[in-house]
Amino acid sequence: MQVLHTIRQWRDYTQGQRDAGASIGLVPTMGALHAGHASLFGEAKSRGDVVVATIFVNPRQFGDPHDLTAYPRTPDDDRVLASEHGVDCLVEPSLAEMWPDYPNPTPTTVTVSGISELLEGEGRPGHFDGVASVVAKLLVVTGPCRVYFGEKDFQQIAVVRQMVRDLALPVEVVPCPIIRDRDGLALSSRNTLLSGAARHQALALSHALASVTDHDLYASQARRVMRERMQDAGVQVAYADVVDPITFLPTRDDEQGERRALVAGVVEGVRLIDNARIVVAARRD
């Protein structure tokens, strides 16, 4: 596995691979790698891609400086996991490489309006501007590729997909299934910040989703059930919503069909998210 640190090395590597006839599979990460990331590496490898993983903790998507400082960083372990799971090239760019003006504001920002202003975007103003800006840069430097994201960050995938479409980037966005621990908790780098008791409490998010899956509920019922399930466990609820999986607009009670249930909550100061596909019924009074 090659380990690169500069944009020039990274760009030369991916172009050289394409010149040799290979396709590139890009897996953007912020490190603290786990089995969920390994599944993305495996999916890229199974499609015949040369797997390029990036590790960069992007300050522009953190509104809270404490959250940025507390974000887990495990560089030595990350290199081992990436090497063992098929990564051909690991890119670890410095902050100066990615955002040369930091900590001053970076003049160029990519904004995807609409989707970015809902749910996670409403609770974390500017978050998706930071995400879209850094992913745009990753894609521009990498060049034509497939880019792999886990569906735990379902709204993020929608933002990236819209950006790729609007900017006509030569990129295929590949969503991959959520990877869960045996008890159902969605794998996340942030899980390492939880105590044992808090981790058990965090199961309320996946339990809330399970409580509305495969049940004959209309949207407002599903919202209430999920919120109550999380509150009963002591989770500070950020949102519990049922939305159209494309527009992310809230589902009305007179609508039915496949939708996405999304939840977010704070446990022991750590913000966690989860989601699931559900089918809702139409309310008929």
Catalogue the active-site residues.
37
Strand pairing category for 2-4 and 49-55: unpaired
Residue 273 tokens read as 């998210």
Separation of first and last alpha carbons in the chain = 61
The per-residue DSSP string of 49-107 comes to: EEEEEEE---GGG-S-HHHHHHS---HHHHHHHHHHTT-SEEE---HHHH-TTTTSPPS
| CA separation for the pair 91, 22 (Å, rounded) | 18
Dihedral through CA 165, CA 187, CA 204, CA 257, nearest 10?
Answer: 30
Q: Across 80-129, where does the E strand assignment appear?
A: 89-91
Conformational region of residue 124, where left means phi above 0, alpha means psi within -120 to 50, and beta covers everything else:
beta
Distances (CA, A) of 45 to 27, 41, 108, 174, 178: 11, 6, 33, 13, 18
Residue 221 tokens read as 């019922």
Conformational region of residue 225, where left means phi above 0, alpha means psi within -120 to 50, and beta covers everything else:
alpha
| CA separation for the pair 121, 146 (Å, rounded) | 25
